[in-house]
Amino acid sequence: MSMAMEEGARSCLMRFRHRLEDDIKPSYLMDHMVSDGVLTADEEERIKNQPTRKDQAAALLALLLRKDNRAYISFYNAMVNEGYNDLANLLHRDLPHGLPEGHKRSTDCCTPYVQTVLSEGGVPQRPVVFVNRPELVNRVREKLYRLQKEPGWVTVFGMAGSGKSVLAAEAARHHGLIEECFPGGIHWLSIGQLDKPDLLVKIQSLCFRLEQSLDSQPLHRPPNSLDEAKERLRFLMLRRYPRSLLILDDIWDSSVLKAFDLHCRILLTTRNRSLADSVCGSRYEVEVESGLDENKGLEILALYTETKLQGLPEVARSIVRECKGSPLVVSLIGALLREKPDRWRYYLGQLQQKQFKRIRKSSSYDYDALDQAMAASIQVLPDERREFYKDLTVLEKDTKVPAKVLSVLWDLETEEVEDILEEFVNKSLLFVDSHNKPYLYYLHDLQLDFLVEQNHSQLQSLHNKVVHQYQQHYKDAHSTSGDEECLYWIRFLTYHMAKANLFQELYSLMFSLDWVSTKAQLMGPAYLINDYVEYGPILDKENSETRSQFQEFLSLNGHHLEQRPFPDVVQLALSQPRTSEVYRQALLQARDRATTGKLYFEWLNKSSVESLSRLVIHPHQGSIYSACFSQDGATIASSGASKTLKVFKSTSGEKLMEIQAHDDEVLCCAFSPDDRLLATCSSDRKVKVWNVERALLLRVFEEEHEEQVNHCQFTNAARRLLLATCSNDKFLNTKLWNLNKPSSQNTMFGHFEPVNHCCFSPDDTHLSTSSNDGTVKLFHVSSANEWKTINVSDAFAESDAEVLVKCSTWTADGKRIICAARNAALVFDVETSDMLLEIRTNRLSTVQYCHACPTSNLLAIAFSNYGVELWDLEANKKMADCSGHLSWVQRVQFSPDGSQLLSCSDDQTVRLWETNKVHTTSAVCLKRDSDVLFNDDEVVVSAADNCNRLQVRDGRTGSVLFQSEEKPSRIRCTCMCKRPSAVALGQEDGTVQVLEVPSGKLLATLLGHTKPVLHCRFSQSGQTLLTSSEDTTIRVWRWQSAECRVLQGHKEQVRCFSLLPDDAKLLSWSFDGTVKMWDVESGEQLQDIEAHRGAILSCRVSPDGSLFATTSADNTAKLWHCESWKCVHTLSGHQDCVRSCRFSWDSRRLATGDDNGEIRLWSVKEGCLLRICSRDGKDGMDSLHGGWVTDLHFSPDDALLVSTGGYIKWWDVETGEALQTFFTTGTALKRIHVSSDFSTFVTIDSIGILYILQRVV
Distance CA 1124, CA 1128 (A): 10
Q: What is the pLDDT of residues 639-672, one digit of tens each?
A: 999 899 999 888 777 788 999 999 999 999 999 9
Helix axes 327-339, 344-352, angle to 10 degrees: 140
Sign of CA dihedral 948, 885, 255, 707: negative
Amino acid at position 1083, single letter: G
Q: What is the mean pLDDT of residues 723-744?
A: 94
- Residue 103's pLDDT is 34
* % of the chain surpassing 90 pLDDT: 57
Q: What is the pLDDT of residues 613-626, one digit of tens each?
A: 566 777 767 789 99
- Residue 614's pLDDT is 60
Distance CA 533, CA 196 (A): 11
Distance CA 528, CA 549 (A): 13
- In whole angstroms, how far apart are CA 968 and each of 432, 611, 734, 871? 74, 31, 51, 22
Task: Check whether 611 has a pLDDT greater than 80.
Answer: no
- Name the pLDDT band for 1174 (thresholds 50, 70, 90): low
What are φ and ψ of residue 316, in 5° steps?
A: -55, -40
Instruction: Enumerate residues 6+ apart whose C-beta is below 8 A from 1071.
Output: 1052, 1053, 1055, 1095, 1096
Distance CA 114, CA 128 (A): 19
Instruction: Enumerate residues 6+ apart whose C-beta is below 8 A from 1031.
Output: 990, 1009, 1010, 1011, 1053
Most confident of 3-12, 254-263, 460-469, 832-841: 460-469
Distance CA 427, CA 339 (A): 9
- In whole angstroms, how far apart are CA 606 and each of 610, 673, 929, 946, 1204? 8, 43, 20, 19, 19
Task: Check whether 217 has a pLDDT greater than 70.
Answer: no
Task: Check whether 108 has a pLDDT greater than 60.
Answer: no
Q: What is the pLDDT of residues 693-720, one digit of tens each?
A: 999 999 999 999 999 999 999 999 998 9
Question: Using DSSP, how many helices (H) and how many strands (E) does the chain show?
Answer: 32, 68
DSSP SS3 for 1172: strand
Instruction: Enumerate residues 6+ apart whose C-beta is below 8 A from 717.
Output: 673, 764
Q: What is the pLDDT of residues 792-817, one digit of tens each?
A: 999 888 777 789 999 999 999 999 99
Listed residue (970, 935, 974) closest to 952, CA to CA: 974
Distance CA 726, CA 534 (A): 34
Distance CA 275, CA 1032 (A): 70
Q: Which residues pair with 977 in a beta bridge?
A: 982
Q: Which of 101-110, 142-151, 195-204, 211-220 has the lowest mean pLDDT?
A: 101-110
Whether the CB-CB separation of 963 and 946 falls below 8 Å is answered with no
Q: What is the pLDDT of residues 779-793, one digit of tens each?
A: 999 999 999 999 999
Helix axes 513-523, 484-499, angle to 10 degrees: 130
- Residue 357's pLDDT is 54
Listed residue (33, 28, 46) closest to 303, CA to CA: 33
Sign of CA dihedral 458, 463, 469, 472: negative
- Name the pLDDT band for 94 (thresholds 50, 70, 90): confident
Distance CA 58, CA 68 (A): 18
Average pLDDT, the chain: 88
- Residue 816's pLDDT is 96
Distance CA 177, CA 251 (A): 24
Q: What is the mean pLDDT of residues 64-81?
A: 82
Helices (H), 219-293: 226-235, 254-258
- Residue 283's pLDDT is 92
Max CA-CA distance within the chain? 119
Distance CA 234, CA 227 (A): 10
Task: Check whether 359 has a pLDDT greater than 60.
Answer: no
